[in-house]
Structure 1
Amino acid sequence: MSSSRRRFLFAVVWRCSLLLPVVLAPVLGRADATARQLLFQWRGPIPAPDDVVLLGIDEASLDPQLSAFGPWPWPRAEQAALAREVLRKGARRVVFNIVHAGPSSFGPADDRGFHDALKPWQDRVLLSASLVRQQWEGFEQVQLRRPWDQSFPVGLSAFSLDAFGMVQSVPGAERLAQMLAPFTRPHPRPMAHLAAAVSTRSGDDGINFLGPSGQLPVIPAWAVGSQAENTWRDKVVVIGSTAPSLGDQLETPFGQQSGSEVLLSAIAGLQNDRGFRGLDHSVLLAVLAGWALLCCWRLSLPSTALGTAMTTAASTLLAMGSTVLAWCAGLWLPGAALMLMPMLAGALRTAAQFQRESVQRRFLHSVLSRRVSPNLMRDMLRSSSDSWTRLGGRRERCVVLFTDLVGFTARSNVMEAEALFGLLNRYFEAIAAPVLAEQGLLDKFIGDALMAEFGVPVHRGDRLEALAAVRAALAMQANLDDLNRQLQEEGLEPLRQGMGIHCGEVIAGNLGSKDRLEYTVIGAAVNLASRLESLTRQFPDYPILISGEVRDLIADLVVVDELGLHAVKGWPQPVAVYGLVGLHPN
């Protein structure tokens, strides 16, 4: 498969991956449920509103030694007496979170006493119905238990659970229709909606839990008579069990709570518009589609794997932050799907870019390693220098070494092409290695000539670079002597080279077109090194000539013979030339 076809397939794959979280949005509900539980724990308890009160049947109210009520169940007339007490003191509404299914076990008089006691407030007393699920002989039976007295408004005391079985919301009209589909109409509305006097939406209403059980405002049943009148005035009073011994314990983000405590949080949120709401299906699809398009656009912009990874992280954090802020504002967003979109697509595109960049790096590494030494290459990669990628050039100081074969042009005219290239490759192999060993840069091969620099793009100081160039030149001459011995053994004519070395200012940088760049140096120093190499024809005993500038830098380190001043083409003044003999013994 061609690289262009492979890149096209990768582009299609990572863009299509943006749609996967949209398809998996329902499955990702477990992640969203976990996130919401963590957000509740991060937020902690909040103050309860003062317009709803829980009148709790707690353990103390069930203890005969502590109260006059005695063990459960209490006569319905006594429960009505509690409700009548708070209604007389101005309660706006009383909610019985106790299902009075079937006739009272205390007889018909008890039912009549309940009805008669609360008849004056018949429109302000709400009775509970409940859904009961039972397993019998491998089958699940669902019963809708309605209150015995049908003369009072009835609400369904039921909640929707998340994927972990934790209470999450008050069911909306759609979910309620599914729950009550097997039962005859009219169906009761959710108790929380009736108590808060709000309409039932199509979607669920998330419960804004007030806090753990110990921090909720609960007035025990045994203390009703001791409360001031303003305790109940214009408030919704929920009467229900809070004693763990009576069961009805539900899992919430703050641990186990009684159904009455959950109902308290639900009513408080609905009355004060502090609950949670999800998005309608059409709006949800629009949000997911818009976010997918935004991610597709943003992730397609970076040209490097690092840029894509940073964009992926930023997009994921944006989705996370938006989800948290929306939750704080009472809106449920599909945070898991929103975060998974850039994470999945970004990971795929980053991997594809990284793989392509790795191939390019390996190629560039192989090319670069043939021009500079491994140590110099490591220094260049560690540094922040942009010499290899910056267009144009800048002034630098370096040592330029120019070498050329003497009389090779005439020889090459009579050689076969294959033999000619084979000989040149052996020659360049012999003289290139010393340049790399001395941390030099192999600039270019021009026919049978070689140009090298010491000090670009990483400069170690003129003296050290000059010494490195001289050592490299001597090693190149020694390698040529070894090659000539091999050529003589093969019956071939030996080679002779000339070298010129000069230190000065050059302009180093990238030359070429936008399609092909070459890092090189230009300037008078380069020309002078080339002229010195040409002068070696006049001094056959000195194959390596250095300028006065190079000699002055390392005069104490080299042995040279002074060859006088020489006029050099393109140079305004005669140039002091020295023949390099070798390094100083010391």
Structure 2
Amino acid sequence: MARKSLANGTGLSDSVSQTVVLPVIFGVGLLLALGYGWFGDRGWLAWMDRQFLDEFHRRGVKAVEREDVVILGIDDASFKLDGLWPEEIEESVALKAMQRPWPWSRVVWAELLERMFAAGVKVVFLDVTFKGPSLDPAEDERLREVLQKHAGKVVLGMNFEGSSASLSAGSRIRLTGPPESIWESGEGRWDGPVHLNFWAEGEVVRKVSLLATLEEAELKDYLGAVGDYGGMSVEEAEKVGDELEVEMARVNPQDGIPSVAMWVANKVGAGGAELELREPRFRFADAGAYPPVSIHEVFVESLWESNFGSGEAFRDKVVFVGATASVMQDFHSTPVGRMAGVQLHAHALAAVMDRNFLKEAPRWWPLAGVGMGMLLSWALVTLIRQPVVCLLVLWGVSVALLVGAWWAFDGLSMEVSPLPGGLALNLCGLAGLSGNYLTQMREKKKLRRFLERYTSPEFVKEMMSDREGLYTMLGGAERTVTVLFSDVRGFTSMAEEMSPADMVKQLNEYLSSMVEQVIRHRGLVDKFIGDAVMALWGSTRLLQAEGGRREDARQSVESALAMRAALTRLNEQWRKRGIAEFKIGMGIHQGNVVVGNIGSAAPYEKMDLTVIGDSVNLASRLEGVTKEYGVDLVISGTVWELVKDEYLCRSADLVRVKGKVLPVEVFTVIGPMVTARPPGLKDYEKGIVSYREGKFVEALEWFGKAREAGLDDVLTSTYISRCEALMASPPEKWDGVFVMTKK
């Protein structure tokens, strides 16, 4: 197969292959069509559509700011009053009342309404809820008189009170509105205009509910729109919906409750009740429109005269009063920016009064856009043979789509997303170009791609010097190979606490350093398995002499020691940068394996030079053994026999790893033979001999001496624990083998 793959690698083709281009283009187009048509919410595609349309709101034609709408803001300055002289405060009943903590005395609102209507204001909207009677009945009486005096010109606020917690406690959802102490009621309903804050579309407000109806489904939609059912379960939300339906029926059983925009527009003669859409999208004015006037300024006589012309500035105006102070947290996100709720009401009112609504694109538009983009991309890829020119044309058409959608927003007041057509045009076009290019270049580059997959200098050199022998190996050959596995301890749990970018960066630093040590010691990096590294020595050596096997074992151990040292340096660097350190385990074994170019053949070709066999599995199991003994490197007895004269080793165990029948003697490598022998090592090794002979009392004494001498680590402690357990419950048969139950 390898010979055939290489032989066919020089074929060339420069024609447009419709057998590749058509399936690729129409496949990508079909996926997009499914994304737009199959899934109800359209997921991230709908989110991307909104990003384009919101950008039109920000950069496109804005609604004209109405001069007859004024906002009085309950702002930080009005809470502090630190910009006023004491004499100015003493001159005003309202300012003195505003010195009290929030909520202010209802005298403030009575004084405000009197001053506004005396100035000739048409309508006042107080975006404030009054919960229950005041502690001072005289305050309620004062506000009641003013409201009766100006009946039909004031909009008050009301809101739903309750939560999932209150439901669990048996409480009902209540519609909180003006108390009877300030607003007369009759037959279970309020007789005057009140307001419900119904914004549609959740976190980012793009349309307003003009009328709060009694339809249960829409009430529950409202609950969802205010943010994941306000933290409730679906069952709790359904119960809330039922409560709201009863409560709204009590307030206004037939007509529903109009929004502020609807009520005020009708009141000033601009109309609104005949609007067909209940939740229309509307065009916003500029983000800086309707700047709030600090409410306390209207009570300062000097400012009332100089800034407001003794009230002339408010004549024939609509005045909205609401929170703009940061502490009151009544802010909403909109396509043009974040604004206070009272400003949002002003934008909605302007839209109703000016009929400045936006039409939504037809439901079929996304699918039509995808189909148009798909067909157009196929035509361009087929007719324009130069890839660069084709790309430029694709991008030019995409810009034209964007301009057309922008024109529809500005000129036709219609929200038409350019994304379906543009995405289909570009993705299908790029897919078609890529498919055609790969078809032309596949045969030409097959040989080069095959050679470049192997990065080991040794492998490349042998491959180029002996093609015939290489072909034999690629077809499958048995070799004696030294296999090293390394793995990062606890990487999965570490990764859960890291951002993806930080995780990838740190892992790349680690792997780069480990691969460097393997290549420096004439190894071949076979593959990465997540954070694990598999490296080989001897897989490409054609001559399998004993000297070569000994050299492979030595180089693999030397590489492991270099990896240990490199990780120490990396950990020092990471520690200084405040990054979690890595701990690794490494296992090395040498044995017979099958080397070959293994994988899937054409047309799904994916092949790699790798090794398979029992020895590979054993090396992987030895890496897992390191966890049991608290060491970072374990080698098999086969490797130990080849390197014991050059490296100081320590017996680890005689283990039967998971999936194996015969036990394997394993060792840990302390360092080169010149390394100082750890205190207690001699006693430890005597303990190992006694342990394997079943002399547990004697072994325990030797291990105890090793610990006293300073060899007090996980490995020594493990054997002490084993000896104590075996002494307490002696085995019937003893072969000195420890059975591993985990990989």
What TM-score comes out, normalization by structure 2 length? 0.42
More strand by share: 1
Q: Are the aligned partners of 1:128 and 1:155 in contact in 2 as well (CA < 8 Å)?
A: yes
Q: C-alpha offsets along residues 497-544 of structure 1, whole Å, 9 cap, x if unaligned?
A: xxxxxxxxxxxxxxxxxxxxxxxxxxxxxxxxxxxxxxxxxxxxxxxx
SS at match of 1:122: coil
1:346 aligns with 2:429: yes
What code does the residue aligned with 1:195 have? V
Q: Distance in 1 between matches of 2:166 and 2:143?
A: 37
How far is the alpha carbon of 1:311 from its aligned partner? 4.6
Q: Partners in 1 of 2:61 and 2:75 — Cα distance?
A: 24
Residues in 1 aligned to 2:437 and 2:331: alpha-carbon distance in whole angstroms: 53
* Residue 113, structure 1, aligned to residue 142, structure 2: yes
CA contact (8 A) 1:156 1:190 kept: yes
Alpha-carbon distance between aligned partners in 2 of 1:11 and 1:40, rounded to the nearest angstrom: 33
1:332 counterpart residue number: 415
Name the residue aligned to 1:277: 358
Alpha-carbon contact 1:18-1:344 (below 8 Å) kept: no
Residue 157 of structure 1 pairs with residue 226 of structure 2? no
Ranges in structure 1 where 5+ consecutive residues have no aligned partner: 364-586
C-alpha offsets along residues 35-62 of structure 1, whole Å, 9 cap, x if unaligned?
4554555469987320100022222322
Q: C-alpha displacement at 1:242, in angstroms?
A: 1.8
The CA deviation string for residues 341-363 of structure 1, in whole angstroms up to 9 with x for no partner, is 32333233333333344469999
Asked whether the 8 Å contact 1:104–1:110 carries over to 2, the reply is no
Aligned AA (2:408):
A
Q: 1:73 to 1:37 in 2, by over 3 A?
A: same
Contact (CA 8 Å) 1:131, 1:158: kept in 2 or not?
A: no
The yes-or-no answer on 1:313 pairing with 2:395 is yes
Q: Check whether the contact 1:53–1:236 (CA below 8 A) recurs between aligned residues.
A: yes
Partner of 1:178: 221
| 1:178-219 superposed Cα distances (whole Å, 9 cap, x missing partner) | 32743133342322332333246243324615324xx74322
Structure showing the higher helix proportion among its residues = 2
- Residue in structure 2 matched with residue 248 of structure 1 by the alignment: 330
**Distance in 2 between the 1:97 and 1:238 partners?**
7
Partner of 2:36: 22
2:157 aligned to 124, 128, 151, which one?
128
Taking the TM superposition and a 5 Å limit, the aligned residue runs for 1:527-546 are: none
| Distance 1:130-1:353 versus aligned 2 partners, 3 A rule | farther
Deviation at 1:135, TM superposition (A): 5.9
Partner of 1:203: 279
Deviation at 1:7, TM superposition (A): 5.7
Distance 1:176 1:205 in 2: 19
Give 5+ residue unaligned stretches, structure 2.
1-16, 90-94, 184-189, 212-216, 224-240, 267-271, 447-743
> Which amino acid in the other structure matches residue 151 of structure 1?
D
Distance apart, 1:143 and its partner CA? 5.6
Answer whether contact 1:130 1:145 (CA < 8 A) is retained: yes
SS in 1 for 2:339: strand
Q: Give the 3 Å change call, closer, same or farther, for CA 314–256 of structure 1 in structure 2.
A: closer
Residue in structure 1 matched with residue 177 of structure 2 by the alignment: 146
CA pair 220-288 structure 1, distance change in 2 beyond 3 A: same
Q: Which residue does the alignment assign to 2:79?
A: 62
SS in 2 for 1:70: coil
TM-aligned CA distance change 1:4 to 1:236, over 3 Å: closer
Structure 2: distance between partners of 1:92 and 1:151: 20
Aligned partners of 1:132 and 1:142 also within 8 Å: yes
Partners of 2:128 and 2:156 within 8 A in 1: yes
Residues 55 and 219 of structure 1 are in contact (CA less than 8 Å); yes or no, is this contact kept in structure 2? yes
Structure-2 separation of matches of 1:5 and 1:139: 63
Q: Distance in 1 between matches of 2:129 and 2:291?
A: 23
Residue 321 of structure 1, CA deviation:
2.0
Map 1:471-482 onto structure 2 (within 5 A): none
Whether 1:286 aligns to 2:384 is no
Matches of 1:32 and 1:15 in 2, distance apart?
17
Higher gyration radius (CA): 1
2:128 aligns to what? Answer: 98
User: Which residue identity does 2:69 align to in structure 1?
Assistant: V
- Aligned residues of 1:170 and 1:207 also touching (Cα < 8 A): no
SS in structure 1 of the partner of residue 315 of structure 2: coil
* CA distance in 1: counterparts of 2:106 and 2:328, whole angstroms: 16
Write out aligned runs for 1:175-574 (5 A): 178-179=221-222, 181-182=241-242, 183-184=244-245, 185=249, 186=252, 187-197=256-266, 198-199=272-273, 201-206=277-282, 208-212=284-288, 216-224=290-298, 226=304, 227-228=308-309, 229-252=311-334, 256-274=338-356, 276-279=357-360, 284-302=362-380, 303=382, 304=384, 306=387, 309-329=391-411, 330-358=413-441
Going from structure 1 to structure 2, the CA distance change for 1:9 and 1:29 (only over 3 Å counts) comes to closer
- Say whether 1:13 aligns with 2:27: yes
Conserved 8 A contact 1:97-1:157: no
What's the CA shift for 1:108? 4.1
1:259: how far off? Answer: 1.6
The Cα of 1:99 is off from its aligned counterpart by 1.5
- The code of the aligned residue for 1:301 comes to A
Mapped to 1, the partners of 2:80 and 2:146 lie a distance apart of 25
Output the amino acid matched with 2:284: N
SS of the equivalent of 2:129 reads coil
Q: Provide, for residues 283-320 of structure 1, a one-character-per-residue CA deviation record: whole Å limited to 9, x for no partner.
A: 52233344334334423323246365345323422332
Alpha-carbon distance in 2 for matches of 1:272, 1:223: 30
Amino acid at match of 1:26: R
Quickly say closer, same or farther: Cα 1:341–1:5, change in 2 above 3 A.
Answer: closer
What amino acid is aligned across from residue 70 of structure 2 in structure 1?
A: V
Matched-pair contact (CA < 8 Å) for 1:55–1:240: yes
AA of the residue aligned to 2:222: M
Structure 2: distance between partners of 1:45 and 1:81? 36
Q: Conserved in 1, the CA contact under 8 Å of 2:210 and 2:258?
A: no
Q: Root-mean-square deviation (CA), in Å?
A: 3.8
- The separation in 2 between residues aligned to 1:133 and 1:321, in whole angstroms, is 47
Aligned-partner SS, 1:284: coil
Q: Give the whole-Å Cα distance in 1 for the aligned partners of 2:166 and 2:127.
A: 30
Amino acid at match of 1:194: W
Judging changes above 3 Å, is the alpha-carbon distance between structure 1 residues 21 and 34 closer, same or farther for their aligned structure 2 residues?
Answer: same
Matched to 2:23, the amino acid is L
Q: Identity over aligned residues, as a percent?
A: 18
Are the counterparts in 2 of residues 209 and 262 from structure 1 also a CA contact under 8 Å? no
Asked if 2 retains the 8 angstrom alpha-carbon contact of 1:129 and 1:144, the reply is yes
TM-score, normalised by the number of residues in structure 1: 0.52
Letter in 2 for 1:288: P
Task: Please say if residues 238 and 264 of structure 1, whose CA atoms lie closer than 8 Å, have aligned partners that are also in contact.
Answer: yes
The question of whether the paired residues in 1 share the 8 Å contact of 2:25 and 2:431 is answered with: no
SS at match of 2:419: helix
Contact 1:18–1:296 (Cα < 8 Å) also in 2? no
Question: Number of paired residues?
Answer: 352
Cα distance in 1 for partners of 2:444, 2:62 equals 55
Name the CA distance, whole Å, in 2 between partners of 1:288 and 1:253.
Answer: 21
After superposition, residues 21-60 of structure 1 pair within 5 angstroms as 21-23=35-37, 26-27=42-43, 28-39=45-56, 42=59, 48-60=65-77
